[in-house]
Amino acid sequence: MTKIANACDGMMSRRCMLQSAGRLAVGTVAVAALPGTGLVPSARAADTRQPWPYKKLDPAEVGEITYNQWYSGLCMNAVLTGLFTPLRKSVGEPYTSFPIESFVWGHGGVVGWGTMCGTLLGASTATNLICGPGVAKDGEQIVNEVIHYYAGTQLPTFKPKSAKIAAQIPMSQSDSPLCHISVGKWMKRTNHGFFSAERKDRCARLTANVAMETARRLNEWSDGKFKAEHKLPAMVYNVTAQHNCSECHGSSVPDVITTGNPPPRKT
């Protein structure tokens, strides 16, 4: 079976470390793909080869498409539509035949379970097609930065050219990529219910923000200027995690069991 990069197996060659170190900011962890992984078997159709051809996006155009599409396809689908619609025009295949329509299911943090915000699932899908896949490779590093942006920014800031509703849309900061936390904090702050027009427009605007930030990072990457600023969380905490431990655990954050061998780190 196809071998795909796996940071969790504790194996990484010095060659990979050095390759990665060259493109990571000082202080970040170099967790890179195993060399010679041959990610795409030759039998696959030509239009599935990764990475996909990319032409720089206009974030403002991406934002407008995304905002309007939210009202048809919700968060995950809207981010993909915002990013891929211009690429369908400027590049064509493989963007044209990718079934964006099937990627609605991320809404509400995956069919309403309130887990990862669907905007970030759409961004993940796009960056890992555009940059190519692999644990801690560029597609994932971009996603990691976009998640930090999502969690650490007062949102939404996007102002649509033609807003769907006249009301002012207040901002809030989630400190988490979870839909339940992000939407819940905004609802608490604004006293608007989940099914209100204001909540919907808040999510439509925030979705545009995430698509624009993703486009901005992809453009940096295309120019060879993208630098990962944060480690992937499992490398920080020895367990998969957010960075807001006390928000759920209070002052009783459990000790993390550290048996096993993490991949070597560059510190």
Within positions 197 to 226, which residues make up the interface with a second copy, using CB under 8 A? 197, 199-200
- Cα(71)–Cα(254) distance, integer angstroms: 41
Using CB under 8 A as the binding rule, whether residue 96 contacts a second copy is answered as yes
Nearest distance, CB of residue 59 and a second copy, angstroms? 19
Contacting a second copy within 36-95 (CB under 8 A): 39-40, 43-45, 47-48, 50, 65, 68-69, 71-74, 77, 81
Ramachandran angles phi, psi of 184, nearest 5°? -60, -45
Q: Which two tokens stand for residue 192?
A: 């608007």
For a second copy, which stretch binds (CB under 8 A), given 14-22, 165-173, 217-225, 254-262? 254-262
- Name the segment binding a second copy (CB under 8 A); options: 53-61, 109-117, 154-162, 209-217: 109-117
Q: Which residue has tokens 């993703």?
A: 214
CA distances from 60 to 19, 174, 217 (A): 34, 24, 14
Longest dimension (CA), the chain: 57
Q: Are 152 and 175 in contact (CB under 8 A)?
A: yes
Does position 124 bind a second copy by CB under 8 A? yes
CB of 89 to a second copy, least distance (A): 12
233 binds a second copy (CB under 8 A): yes
Q: Which two tokens stand for residue 39?
A: 């990610």
99 binds a second copy (CB under 8 A): yes
Which of 17, 23, 184, 219 lies at the binding interface for a second copy (CB under 8 A)?
184
Kindly tell me which residue out of 63, 86, 122, 139 binds a second copy, with binding defined by CB under 8 A.
139
Burial (CB < 10 A; 0-12, 13-18, 19+), residue 21, is middle
- Quick one: which segment of 16-24, 130-138, 211-219, 220-228 binds a second copy (CB under 8 A)? 130-138
Q: Is the peptide bond before 160 cis (omega within 30 degrees of 0)?
A: no
